[in-house]
Amino acid sequence: MRYLVENFSEIMGFTATHLYLALVPLLLALVIAIPAGALVRRVSWLRRVTVTAASLAYTIPSLALLVIIPPLVGISAIDPLNVVIALTIYSTALLVIAVPAALDSVPVTVLDAADAVGYGPLRRTLTVDMPLAVPVFVSSLRVVLVTNIAMVSVGALIGVGGLGKLFTQGYQRDYPDEIIAGVIVTLALALIADRAVYALGRWATPWVRADARTAKAKGAAT
């Protein structure tokens, strides 16, 4: 803890970089995975192929991917873009599976009602399916974000900044306090990010809160 207090400003700089490298891939993955997942859900064979491809992509070792990407896209191995691309691949692989699963959680009766009042496929997906799938999707989103925060640390092995530097520097200097500080801050960052996404999901689904209050009131009445 003493190292953490004495080097607070430097560690906060590492934390900002770490958070950037975790969030940007997540946002890029959302842009790719949400429309892709919604499209493949409607075609059973394409959904199976997508799930298989995504599962294979996620099995690629992170360090190997960080070595392969630079020559393929023409960047330096220590370019932060290297980590962004790698984590975007992993995040997309997870989310493109999560999107159809979340959409499957929407009650069939609701979908039938939307079709009955004349909603087209696109309008129904955007105004009915997606909003009602948020509670299930947020659970996957929390997992992906926390996973990204953990995996950014691997970038320190190739010289990319973030809290992983505390691990590599601590190991090189044989200074456990620095490593412990890195573990503490990484855990704290993951917990805060997880709760933030949870709160965002709650804010985006006011009907879930209303249902919970109604159920609680009925329970108290009985």
Domain residue extents for the chain: 1-205
What is the pLDDT, as a whole number, of residue 158? 84
Determine the residue type at 171: Y
Q: Between these two residues, 164 and 220, which has the higher pLDDT value?
A: 164
Question: 77-104 pLDDT, tens per residue?
Answer: 889 899 999 999 999 999 999 999 998 8
What is the pLDDT, as a whole number, of residue 185? 92
The CATH number assigned to the domain with range 1-205 reads 1.10.3720.10
Q: Which residue has the tokens 């974000």?
A: 145
What is the pLDDT, as a whole number, of residue 83? 92
What is the pLDDT, as a whole number, of residue 207? 66
Cα–Cα distance measured from residue 145 to residue 141, given in angstroms and rounded to the nearest whole number: 6
**C-alpha separations of 56 from 38, 41, 65, 68, 89 in Å:** 20, 19, 13, 16, 11
Please tell me the pTM assigned to this model.
0.87
Confidence band, pLDDT 50/70/90 cuts, at residue 18: very high
